[in-house]
Structure 1
Amino acid sequence: MILILIVVVFAIAGFVVSRKLKSKFKQYSQVALKANLSGAEIAKLMLADNNISDVQVLSVEGQLTDHYNPANKTVNLSPDVYYGRNAAAAAVASHECGHAVQHATSYTWLNLRSTLVPLQNSAGKILNFVLLASLFGGFALG
């Protein structure tokens, strides 16, 4: 019973955060930039301003799928951000380029995060299995 309650609480929290993020993105997508630059152009300028020439800026499918990949040194921007010429696109593109700047300067906390990501991914898969097994009576947790 406690397990189900935990799952419900985290599902609701995830839903609320996701809706809030999408709502803010939609709100600030209506705010035009004076410079009329796209998210991709802003990202490239930010990388150049920080003397980073080995990171590519790419467009990836999806909505709010934006991320920096330190393994292949790419800033991956969703189409709304890559082509967008608004405050939301500028903010997201700048945020992702911030990770590239952190990577280029060997920022300690980014290195720790990069080390922990594979562990978190594995733990997430294991916890999904544990959750499903416990829900279907495979074994009981507490």
Structure 2
Amino acid sequence: MTIWFLLIGIGIISMIVQSRFKNKFKKYSEMPLTSGLSGAEVAQKMLHDNNIYDVKIISVEGQLTDHYNPADRTVNLSPEVYHGRSVAAAAVASHECGHAVQHATAYSWLQFRSAMVPIVNVASRIVQFTLMIGVMLAIFSKVLILLQIGVAALAVTTVFSFITLPVEFDASRRALAWLNTANITHSTVEHDGAQDALKWAAMTYVVAALSALVTLLYYAQMLLGRRD
């Protein structure tokens, strides 16, 4: 019963955080950047200021689809960020470049996270199927092997969610420090806005990790109960 309350609670918190993040992004997307730089220009400058010249900046479709891809060394920015000349665009663009800086400086948590990607990809593909079928088999035939595989796969993705946290926090830290020293966010209002936007973006990762943990506990409890 406690797990159910946790699942419901984390679901409600997740919706609140997602809503707050979208509202914050919208708010700071409407706050012009005094420097007048676009997100793409901010990204280019941050990369060059960190002596990174082999990373491409490209525009990708969608909203809030921004990410850094270490495999092909690209900073991928959504159209609103790529072309935007707002505080939000600068914050997101510099955050993604923060990942590129992590990559260039061999940041340990990013390396660990990247090393996990192959096994996480496999776990992500099988987790839903193994849990769904595994639960039915456990209930109707007391066969637990598939449920055990599902819980193991879920454990891998949960660990990955938590390893992502220091990577994201550090990228935001690098972004905010650079925005300040490079004088991209000219005023305190602009800098505070960038910080607020990135704070709520980080909160979405925190909630996702906690949600993954609670889900793991739910299925682990179910598995242990079936083994009794």
The TM-score with structure 1 as length reference comes to 0.85
Q: Deviations over 1:36-95 (max 9, x none)?
A: 111001000101111111000000011111100000000000111111110111000000
SS at match of 1:80: helix
Structure 1 residue 113: Cα displacement: 1.2
Q: In structure 1, how many angstroms separate the alpha carbons of the residues matched to 2:68 and 2:25?
A: 19
Distance 1:58 1:122, change over 3 A: same
SS at match of 2:68: strand
Q: Which amino acid aligns with 1:33?
A: L
Q: Percent identity?
A: 55
Using the TM superposition, name which of 1-10 and 46-55 deviates more: 1-10
Q: Deviations over 1:73-132 (max 9, x none)?
A: 000001111111101110000000000011011111111111123323322332212333
Aligned position for 1:54 = 54
SS at match of 1:57: strand
In the alignment, is residue 30 of structure 1 matched against residue 11 of structure 2?
no
Aligned position for 1:117 = 117
Using the TM superposition, name which of 50-59 and 120-129 deviates more: 120-129
Distance 1:3 1:124, change over 3 A: farther
Q: In structure 1, how many angstroms separate the alpha carbons of the residues matched to 2:117 and 2:36?
A: 35
Q: In structure 1, how many angstroms separate the alpha carbons of the residues matched to 2:130 and 2:12?
A: 20
Q: In structure 1, how many angstroms separate the alpha carbons of the residues matched to 2:78 and 2:11?
A: 24
Aligned position for 1:139 = 138
Q: Which is greater in Rg?
A: 2
Q: In structure 2, how many angstroms separate the alpha carbons of the residues matched to 1:4 and 1:138?
A: 22
| Mapping for residues 7-46 of structure 1, pairs under 5 Å | 11-46=11-46
In the alignment, is residue 80 of structure 1 matched against residue 116 of structure 2?
no
Q: Which has the higher contact order (CA 8 A, sep 6+)?
A: 2
More helix by share: 2
Q: In structure 2, how many angstroms separate the alpha carbons of the residues matched to 1:27 and 1:139?
A: 49
Distance 1:116 1:5, change over 3 A: farther
Distance 1:67 1:53, change over 3 A: same
Q: Which amino acid aligns with 1:45?
A: K
SS at match of 2:138: coil
Aligned position for 2:129 = 129
The TM-score with structure 2 as length reference comes to 0.55
Structure 1 residue 17: Cα displacement: 3.1
Q: Which 5+ residue runs of structure 2 have no aligned equivalent?
A: 140-221, 224-228
Q: Which 5+ residue runs of structure 1 have no aligned equivalent?
A: none
Q: Deviations over 1:2-24 (max 9, x none)?
A: 88777655544443332222121
SS at match of 1:72: coil
Q: In structure 2, how many angstroms separate the alpha carbons of the residues matched to 1:44 and 1:61?
A: 19
Distance 1:15 1:122, change over 3 A: farther
